[in-house]
Amino acid sequence: MVTQGSSMLIQPRSLVRYAIEGGRPLFSHPLHVGTPNIGLKEDILARIEDILDRRMLSNGGPLVKEFERRVAEIANVKHCIAMANGTIALEIAIRALGMTGEVIMPSMTFVATAHALQWQEITPVFCDIDENLHHIDSSRIEALITPRTTGILAVNLWGRPCYVEKLEKIAEKHGLKLLFDSAHAFGVSYKGNMVGQFGNAEVFSFHATKFINTFEGGAVVTNDDELAARIRLMKNFGFDGRDSVAYLGINGKMNEVQAAMGLVSLDNMQAFVAHNRENYLAYREGISAIPGLDLLEYQLEERNNYQYIIIEVDESVFGLSRDELAMVMAAENVDVRRYFYPGCHRMEPYRSYYPMAYLQLPTTERILERVLAFPTGNAVQPDDVARITNLLSRIHRDRRYLEAVLASRREAVAG
């Protein structure tokens, strides 16, 4: 029994106590969002042993070249330039495209997207997002264009592509560069065409949290021959020969060990996708009957990687806020995440530069208060998903009781 002020709430119908009130957690160890997918260990170790035998660890070795070729084939593009990480890939792509001044982008993304601009003294101008897809709202872009605007940096969030045609039309009309941060969207299609082919260029991430990983890593993909040649120079100090530097550059190279991991990941790509899809369908079935929880759905007729299980929490219907639900789930060892809370515009240095930015981003603000990402990947089994969705259903049923439990915890902390 839990006391709240002068009223008392009776223990819920279930005899199982919630972990947040001292019960045993649902899972014995935490299930994390973005736990790395690992291919066959023996294949990874065999490739690494081959690298050591050859003694070529970096500088565009055979495994990097093979990885670039296979990524380009999957994305159906002419050029893939592998990089040490996705942020370096973004920074080099931005510079190679000649972006300066101001670039329009969404605030609901990983902060590296904004940093890749600001690091080069380019001002990120935050545009609001679409209510349904969580992408940059193309209907709001033109109002933000100024004489200093040189580009649009769109984000294919959650592996669900933006409305490409609208963005390309705006970019062409105003003479702007169009770059896609497709960190989430490798192996994804839009109207039957693979992501990677759109805009001037696209950037993939192969960080450990992505469904295909190279430990750390990224790539720029493009069909622009001249741009690709410039990017290849820029990621290797500008060298165009053994003793010849032809362009300004830095060290953005992917090494052979990263490529080895990436190649093994690609060997297992279809298995990863199939597993993620099975988890997604299990989440969809389990959540469909729970009021106040809205699962962002994939278009099953398109190619998807299904790496992101994103749920919006409607507190007025579900009975608990997003943050309250996250606390209850964390206690049960389901480590849900508030992606990408609180938004780039509320992080430094941007919140100091634009302290009133939130007034121009009402949809972004609202969505950031509702979104939770749930665990998936090959470390999570469909049976685990069933246990998670059953827990969510039980939490909704016991919402008034849990509200009192959480209120008691807050009173104890305050007292």
Domain-by-domain residue ranges, the chain? 2-33+269-336+375-414, 41-267
- Model pLDDT, residue 16: 74
Q: How many of the other CB atoms lie within 10 Å of CB of 377?
A: 23
pLDDT average, residue stretch 164-171: 98
How many Å apart are CA 37 and CA 23, to the nearest integer?
31
Instruction: For 114-155, write each residue's pLDDT tens digit.
Output: 999 999 999 999 999 999 889 999 999 999 999 999 999 999
- Model pLDDT, residue 414: 72
Q: How many of the other CB atoms lie within 10 Å of CB of 35?
A: 17
pLDDT average, residue stretch 56-63: 94
The topology under which CATH files domain 41-267 is: Aspartate Aminotransferase; domain 2 (3.40.640)
Dihedral angle over CA of 257, 260, 261, 265, nearest 10: 170
- Least Cα distance to 95 among 185, 194, 230, 242 occurs for 230
Instruction: For 77-112, write each residue's pLDDT tens digit.
Output: 999 999 999 999 999 999 999 999 999 999 999 999
Instruction: Identify the weakest region by mean pLDDT among 13-17, 79-83, 246-250, 319-323.
Output: 13-17
pLDDT average, residue stretch 313-321: 97
pLDDT average, residue stretch 307-313: 98
Please give the mean pLDDT across all residues of the chain.
95
How many Å apart are CA 119 and CA 285, to the nearest integer?
43
Instruction: For 181-231, write each residue's pLDDT tens digit.
Output: 999 999 999 999 999 999 999 999 999 999 999 999 999 999 999 999 999
Classify 108 as helix, strand or coil: coil
pLDDT average, residue stretch 173-177: 98
- Model pLDDT, residue 15: 60
How many Å apart are CA 217 and CA 221, to the nearest integer?
13
Q: What are phi and psi of 323, to 5 degrees?
A: -70, -35
Top-tier CATH class for 2-33+269-336+375-414:
alpha beta
pLDDT at 176 over 70: yes
